[in-house]
Amino acid sequence: MLFNSLQFLIFFPVVTVLYFLLPHRFRWLLLLVASCVFYMAFIPVYILILFVTIGIDYVAAIYIEETKGPRRYTALITSIVSTCLVLFVFKYLNFFTTNYNALGAFFHLNYPVRILSIILPIGLSFHTFQSLSYVIEVYKGRQKAERHFGIYALYVMFYPQLVAGPIERPQNLLHQFYEPHEFDYGRVTDGLKLMAWGLFKKMLVADRLAVLVNEVYNNPTNYEGIPLITATAFFAVQIYCDFSGYSDIAIGAAQVMGFKLMTNFRQPYFAESIADFWRRWHISLSTWFKDYVYIPLGGNRVSPRRHYLNLLITFAISGLWHGASWTYVIWGALHGLFITFSGISEEPRRRIREFLRVDRVPALHAFARMSMTFVLVCFAWVFFRANSLTDAGYIISHLFTGFAQYGNLQYVSLQFRGIGIQPQDLVIAVAAMSIMLTYDILDKRERVWHRLQARPLWVRWSLYYVLVLAILFYSDNNVANFIYFQF
């Protein structure tokens, strides 16, 4: 069930109303049933897989808590391996098989392994990581093992964040299922506003830009120069609006019922370095990798060489987490390389800054850093979005083809022929992007919705109407999947 579908438009109010009508002791059951219905709207039988991993981790965590000595560690490893095994079979087995076959063919060893026809369970990577964080936290003694199976299952399956996060830590979410949530007008309306804003980003910006991006990235050899640059820049905006839009709806939906989920995005394209970008982009995942991969590897409390290696490993795994393809691995590794290079070149860059005295105009300096970061992020997005390494290579090598003619409007317009997006749709997308950018700029100083609260009623209601009407009348009519659902 998609957040932007008619089914969810019915599902959400029904579940929310029932939630507030039911006594507190039954609410967990309602949410669990609702989460099962939500998940089963995709591929019903896959819920069995989810319950297998839930069962394993539930038992393992209790065992870890009750046991002392090396058995605890064995239980932890058993739990991690079994949870990851499910992820491996469904997500990575074909990737490794394909590469094994290719390698075999290269060395003329003709023992090909059959590629399985498997559909990836939706949101598998997300709830796998959420389960892992629970078991690890119990092992570390920072979280008590949950004895109530239903509540634990709900922690993994809570429908607003089940399929694409935010990836919650048990310390933040589990206790909330025990707290009685009363109907709070302010909280409910704030949640609804956040959901509306998420839908605006998804349906007006992301889905419209997707038309152009998909056409160019699915047929890259049909294009060169400006369309490739435009599609890449648009993809940067598309994926941000798509994923942060999803997160806003998820956080908003949970907030309506009284749950507080963690912030997942903080204006990532205002980042002034790649490291800063990762403090603002998909925060629940980047902190997960920091806590459970980067720091256990030694983090930055090791030799510089080892530190940079830790960064590269963490980012490459993060790439692989996104998708079983070399394009994702390279995307992740590129971010690792950018941060490594940034660390290595810090001293020379400081000298250049001092020599050029750019620090004297801080705003300009910040803008230059922001622009540079955006360009690097876009460059990496090419690998993330391209359907293959060959496509990514073509796109990168043809980004500036015909550069000398970029001033020729006729030439530029010819390059955009057949791109599939109607001019009026492009205008809507650009207008929506501008609104979103303004929102992000204003939100940086003070939360927009809080600021709006101080305005007269007619101003607020007019804005709500405009937002709702824009979503209803100007959104793309096709119900498109959220990009991160595939992970």
Partner 1 sequence: MKMFLVKGVILSVPAILWLAIVLVIDPFDYFNVSHVISNEVKRQNAQEINELFFHVFREANAPSANLLIGDSRTANLPIDEIDKVTGQHYSLLTGNALKLNEAIDLFWLANRYRKLENVYIGINFSMFNQYAYADRVKTVDTIVANPLRYVFNRSTAQALFNVVEATITQKPVVNSVPPMSRDDFWNYMITTRASEWYAKYKFPDDVYAKMKTMVEFARANDINLVFIIVPHHVEFQNRLWDYRLTSEKVRFLEAMAALNTSVIDYDYVNEITLDKKNFLDPVHYGKAAGVLIADEVWTGQYKIGKLLNANYVQHVSAKELGHRKPDALAAFSGGVPPLKASLQK
The CA-based angle 298-304-306, given to 5 degrees, is 45
- DSSP 3-state assignment of 142? coil
**With respect to partner 1, which residue has the nearer C-beta, 70 or 186?**
186
| Residue among 96 and 183 whose Cβ is closer to partner 1 | 183
User: What minimum distance in Å lies between the beta carbon of 2 and partner 1?
Assistant: 12
Shortest distance, CB of residue 50 to partner 1, whole angstroms? 29
Nearer to partner 1, 379 or 411 (CB): 411
Task: Name the region of 181 (left: φ>0; alpha: ψ -120 to 50; beta: rest).
Answer: beta
CA-closest candidate to residue 378, choices 415, 334, 340: 334
Residue 244 near residue 283, CB atoms below 8 Å: no
Closer by beta carbon to partner 1, 222 or else 390: 222
C-alpha to C-alpha distance for 271 and 463, rounded to whole angstroms: 29
Q: How many Å separate Cα 157 from the centre of its chain?
A: 17
CB of 420 to partner 1, least distance (A): 5
Q: Which is nearer to partner 1, 254 or 376 (CB)?
A: 254
**Gap between the terminal Cα atoms of the chain:** 16
Q: For 268-367, where are the E strands, in sequence order?
A: none
Catalytic residue among 307, 322, 335, 450: 322
**For partner 1, which is the closer residue by CB, 148 or 187?**
187
CB of 215 to partner 1, least distance (A): 7
Q: Which helix (H) or strand (E) holds 352?
A: helix 346-356
* Three-class DSSP labels, 400-418: CCCHHHCCCHHHHHHHCCC
> Residue 7 or 74: which CB sits closer to partner 1?
7
Q: Which residues 6+ apart lie within 8 Å of 151 measured at CB?
A: 28, 174, 177, 178
Longest dimension (CA), the chain: 75
Question: Of the two residues 9 and 89, which places its CB atom closer to partner 1 in the complex?
Answer: 9
The residue to which tokens 């060959």 are assigned: 390
Residues near 103 by Cβ (< 8 Å), separated by ≥ 6? none
Min dist CB 9 to partner 1, Å, is 8
Query: Taking the CA of residue 174 as centre, how many other CA atoms within 13 Å lie in the half-sphere pointing to its CB?
Result: 23
Cβ pair 181, 188 in contact under 8 A: no
Nearest CA among 288, 289, 200 for reference residue 252:
200
Give CA–CA dist 164/22, Å, rounded: 27
Note the residues at the interface with partner 1 (CB under 8 A).
6, 9, 20, 183, 185, 188-189, 211, 215, 219, 222, 414, 417-418, 420, 422, 461, 464-465, 468, 472-474, 476-479
135 Cα distance to chain centroid: 22
The least distance separating partner 1 from the CB of residue 212, rounded to whole angstroms, comes to 12
How far apart are the C-alpha atoms of 449 and 464, rounded to whole Å?
A: 11
Cα–Cα dist 459/450, whole Å? 14
| Minimum separation from the CB atom of position 94 to partner 1 (A) | 25
Rg (CA), the chain: 24
In the complex, the smallest distance separating the C-beta of residue 468 from partner 1, rounded to whole angstroms, is: 8
Cβ 477 to partner 1 shortest distance, Å: 4
Give the closest residue to 226 by CA, choosing from 380, 411, 386: 411
Residue whose C-alpha is closest to residue 328's, from 483, 161, 203, 224? 483
108 is catalytic: no
Residues annotated as catalytic (active site), given as ranges? 322
